[in-house]
Amino acid sequence: MAIRPIKIAPSILAADFAHLGDAVAKVAAAGADAIHVDVMDGHFVPNISIGIPVVRCLRRVTDLPIDAHLMISDPMGYASAFVEAGVDGLTVHVEGAPHLHRLLQHIRGLGVRVGVSLNPATPAIALSEILNDIDLVLVMTVNPGFGGQMFIESVLPKIRQVREMLDQAHSPAELEVDGGIGPETAKRVVDAGATMLVSGTAIFDAPRGISAAIEAIRQAAGNEQERR
């Protein structure tokens, strides 16, 4: 069985927005695998963050994949604008999409990676009908809306469950986790089956700096056994 490294996607929500280009350059130099952009509309979640113009600017300064995590009420209405701005992947919430299958087909048609996210209270079974339509599952380990929250332990069994569902479906989809991820929680989520870790505060607010923080998460996470 081949060993493959866990992917790390820094969430720029925790970066200094006055120096965003520098923050992205630093995480890239430290070996980050993708840039995670948290898009909040003050409606689907009780916070407002950043959106399309910021993605467009970041696209000019990084070759890393840009993943937009859409925490917005109308993902269908904005997906193509994010793709035009330069994202490589779009992740949408099950809870915000009454016509999830249609939305996923729409994103697929735009030619970017298709991701689906589950809030902590949403069961894994919500994925059962769309498992073959996605490239990534994002299991939220906090309630979306804010960085710097505490990791919710009770989500761990759901990560295992999603892992089993993906394996049973022979799906190569990435299993991503987001919220409260740092060196202390990385191993637990990877042991449960996560392959990609989003981390904001633990990277950008790390007292020893960005590079050391990414390395610490990588060390803690270890490698993942290739499952397929």
Interface positions with Zn ion (CB under 5 A) = 38, 69, 178
Q: Is 38 marked active-site?
A: yes
Can you state the angle between helices 20-29 and 210-221, rounded to 10 degrees?
40
Q: Is 205 marked active-site?
A: no
10 contact choice in Zn ion, ligand DX5, none (CB below 5 to 8 Å, kind-dependent): none
Identify each DSSP E strand in 75-228 by its residue range: 89-93, 113-118, 136-140, 174-178, 196-199, 223-225
How many residues appear in the chain? 228
Tell me if 105 contacts ligand DX5 by CB under 6 A.
no
Least Å distance, CB 12 to ligand DX5, is 8
Least Å distance, CB 38 to Zn ion, is 4
d(C-alpha 153, C-alpha 199), whole Å:
16
Q: Of these residues, 41, 133, 178, 205, which one is catalytic? A: 178
Q: Of these residues, 33, 38, 67, 133, which one is catalytic? A: 38
Number of residues in contact with ligand DX5, rule: CB under 6 A?
22
Within residues 55-94, the interface with ligand DX5 by CB under 6 A covers 69
Binding part of the chain for ligand DX5, among 6-14, 17-25, 57-65, 184-192 by CB under 6 A, reads: 6-14
How far is the CA of 67 from the CAs of 9, 70, 100, 136, 164, in angstroms?
9, 9, 19, 11, 24
Nearest to 70 by CA among 60, 62, 80: 80
d(C-alpha 175, C-alpha 141), whole Å:
12
Least Å distance, CB 149 to ligand DX5, is 5
Chain residues in the site for ligand DX5 (CB under 6 A) = 11, 13-14, 36, 38, 69, 142, 144-149, 178-181, 198-202
Catalytic residues, which ones? 38, 178
